[in-house]
Structure formats: structure tokens, C-alpha cells
Amino acid sequence: MKDEDGELHNIMLFGAEGDQNRYPMRATGWFSGGGCGVETDPDVGSSPHGWSAYRTVATDTLAAFIPTTTTRTSSSVGWDGRLSVPREVGVAIVRDIYDVDQHLVGKGDWIVSDSKDIIKSLGVKPLSNLQLLRNENSLEHVASVSVNGLSQVLNSTGASFELIAEVADFERGNEVGFEVHRSSTGNKEATIVYGDAEKKVIIDRTKGSTADCAVFADNNMKPISESIWGHFYLYDLFNGASQSDVGETTREKLSFHVFVDVSSVEVFVNDRFSLSARIYPCATQSKSDGIALTASGDAIFRAGWPGSRGPPCRDSQAPRWSLRLNLVQDFPQALSVVWVKRQPLLVAHAGFLELLHQALDGAHAQHLDVSSMTLLPSFLAS
């Protein structure tokens, strides 16, 4: 794929598996035949040998399968794997880096170019055409919110929603993020945080459903509740023309784009990181559809929708934190789908799959062996 500087990159996506933490990795470089007589095309775009849907070489689009993580056959208790949100992948560039921690000295999956103040890495973000599925009547704006060591419960609720928020300022070394599927008694199924001390994005499921939930107790099993995480690093950036003055630096803003759909959580950060997990809501005391902001120290949540995307504001000050609920009405809790060459075969939940196919804008889906679907989420840790 070609970056904005016109440089071509080949990126291989793969994941090391063996437990519930599937660490996503990628390698950059150039494909070659290796003397084996294999023809290669440096401008290939998405490889036709994996399960992917793509529109053009410039904008590669991928979708994957999020498997169910339980200790027994999932279908016995009604939980099935599901399709992920389609993703656009490309080459993300961060410029004018002040490498205060010498983070770029060690090995990593980035490319340091020209000098040690630019990185190029895999970019990943939700498919832009998913905006076509938004329900404008369900858009909610929340003004700038300050959080200091406690959870800030929002008036907005929902079990299926899209959330976009920017954390413009928070204390170094702390955690900041969101609680989802939160009950009125304070129980929550999942917490999504960026942990600055560990340089990780974490989907914490440890306080979620347990074997006491009826659907699991009746089948003598319990859901997997380990946290899912992936490494992510926020950089300090020079904000002036001169890079000799160390004082003229600011920290990169932390931007979240989150999709929650009942039992799935998908997190995108700064258009170059994604993380997905299954959760198993089981609210026994009260309805579990609350949403809260959380931070272990001082934090300010701002700047929800980019100016080119958001609807017009009703007042002079633009909204600085935004939440969109009910992305698709009656979002299915499980998908059964078989893909045939070029077109999806609508086996179940045809209405949703039709919308998804429209969002892909006629993208061509490659043939998929359904039995191998759980091996596919490589660049997203699910």
C-alpha cells in the first residue's frame, strides 16, 4: 500500500495465539519471490489469499470474525461468534516526534524514516461508509467533561452504540477511558482504558459476567473474563518550527472510536490501533446499559466528532464530546454467514448483512472457509 508521501509498503498481518490474549503483530518490508519462481506484485493491495473485502489499492478494507470465548461449546448457551466492524487499513504517519523516552531506539513494528522524528505504522480505522448506517435522530452531544479519579456516569444509555471522544488532557501515568454495560448499582461488564504507565489499551472484562449468570449456571460453565490488551504509545510532538527547543512540545491527543453492540466491544485509537473482545452481559439486579467516563487522575474529555462529519451545532460553541446511540436498530447478537465469491450469501440476519454490504459500497468479498474463521482476526486482538 502507498502512504501519503508516495512510498510503497508491504505489510503482513499475523497474530500469536495460544491463550485469550492474542497479541497482534505486523511486519513491514517488500515481498519477493525468494528465488522460488513466485511472481509478486509490489502494488497488490489486499492479498487475495486471505478473507478480505477491498475497494481499491489506495483504500484497503478488511473484515474479520470475532470468536466466542467460553470454556465450553458456545452454541450450547446461545453465544456465537460474529462479524467485526469493517476496517480501512493504510499507512499511518506521525511526524515531528520528540522521543523523550527513546521509545524508537528499540525494535518495533514502525518504520523510522529520514530521521528519528517520524514513524510510519499500520493505520486502521472503521470503514468510513459506516456513517451511512447512522441514525441522525439518535445523535447525542455531551459538553466537555472533567473527571478526577472517579467515574462520571452519563445520562446517555444504550447496549448498542458508537462513541467518539477525545481525551485532550490527562495526567501522565494514569488510566483513562470508559465503562460500558454499567448497571445502576455500579456493576459493569467491561472497562475500556488506555493505561499510560503500561502503554496499553485494555478491555477489562474481569468484573463482568460470572458463572452465577443463569445462562452459564444452567449449563455448568463460565465465560472467559480475562482482560484483552494491546500495546499503544502516545508520542510527544514538537509544536514549533524549531526542533531544538525541547520546551516547545505537546503530547499527542488520545482519540477513541468505540463500537459496542450488546456482546461485542471494538475499540479504535488514533487511527492506528484496534482491539476487539466479546463480553457476556447478564444484569440480574438492574438494566445494564449505562455508560460512564473513568480516569485514575485528572482528565478532560473533548472534541467528539470531526468537523467534517458532525451535524450543525445549535449554539456558538461546538460540542466537545459526542455519543451516538443505536447505530443500527435491532443489531443482531449473532451472525451466521457464508461468503461466496464476490457476493455475500445472506444466510441469517439478512437485513443487517444487506446494510453491511451497502456500507462496503459494492466491495468484493473473497471466498471464505467458514471452519477457519476463528483464525482470521490478526491485526485486531479478539
Percent residues over pLDDT 90 in the chain: 5
Q: Where are the beta strands (DSSP E) in 32-174?
A: 53-54, 60-62, 65-66, 82-83, 87-94, 97-98, 111-112, 119-126, 139-142, 145-148, 152-157, 160-170
Instruction: Give the least confident one: 20-29, 129-138, 262-271.
Output: 20-29
Q: Is 46 a residue whose pLDDT tops 80?
A: no
Distance CA 95, CA 252 (A): 11
pLDDT average, residue stretch 108-112: 70
Tell me whether residue 382 is in a domain: no
Q: What is the pLDDT of residue 359?
A: 47
pLDDT average, residue stretch 263-271: 90
CA distances from 354 to 230, 359, 362 (A): 32, 9, 11
Largest CA-CA distance found in the chain, in angstroms, rounded? 66
- Per-residue pLDDT tens digits for 137-162: 777 776 677 777 777 777 777 888 88
Q: Is 234 a residue whose pLDDT tops 60?
A: yes
Tell me whether residue 82 is in a domain: yes
pLDDT average, residue stretch 372-381: 26
Q: What is the pLDDT of residue 148?
A: 75
* Number of domains composing the chain: 1
Distance CA 251, CA 380 (A): 25
What letter does residue 352 receive in the DSSP assignment?
H
Tell me whether residue 158 is in a domain: yes
Q: Which domain holds residue 177?
A: 10-375
Give burial (CB, 10 Å; 0-12/13-18/19+) of 48. exposed
Q: Is 269 a residue whose pLDDT tops 50?
A: yes
Tell me whether residue 381 is in a domain: no
Q: Is 280 a residue whose pLDDT tops 60?
A: yes
Q: What is the pLDDT of residue 224?
A: 73
pLDDT average, residue stretch 279-284: 69
Distance CA 208, CA 282 (A): 8
Percent residues over pLDDT 70 in the chain: 52
Instruction: Kindly report the pTM of this predicted structure.
Output: 0.71
Distance CA 3, CA 50 (A): 22
Tell me whether residue 320 is in a domain: yes
- Per-residue pLDDT tens digits for 77-95: 555 566 778 888 888 999 9
Q: What is the pLDDT of residue 158?
A: 80
104 close to 111: Cβ distance less than 8 angstroms: no
Q: With residue 203 as reference, give the H or E element that holds it.
A: strand 200-204
Tell me whether residue 1 is in a domain: no
- Give DSSP secondary structure letters for 215-283: HHHTTT--B----EEEE--PPEEE-SS-SS-TTSEEEPPEEEEEEEETTEEEEEETTBEEEEEE-----
Q: Is 2 a residue whose pLDDT tops 50?
A: yes
Between 259 and 224, where is the model more confident? 259
212 residue type, one letter = D
CATH code, 76: 2.60.120.560
Between 141 and 177, where is the model more confident? 177
206 close to 225: Cβ distance less than 8 angstroms: yes
Distance CA 330, CA 82 (A): 15
Tell me whether residue 24 is in a domain: yes
Q: What is the pLDDT of residue 133?
A: 79
Tell me whether residue 137 is in a domain: yes
Question: 3-state DSSP call for residue 195?
Answer: strand
| Residues whose CB falls within 8 Å of the CB of residue 100, separated by 6 or more in sequence, listed in order | 236, 249
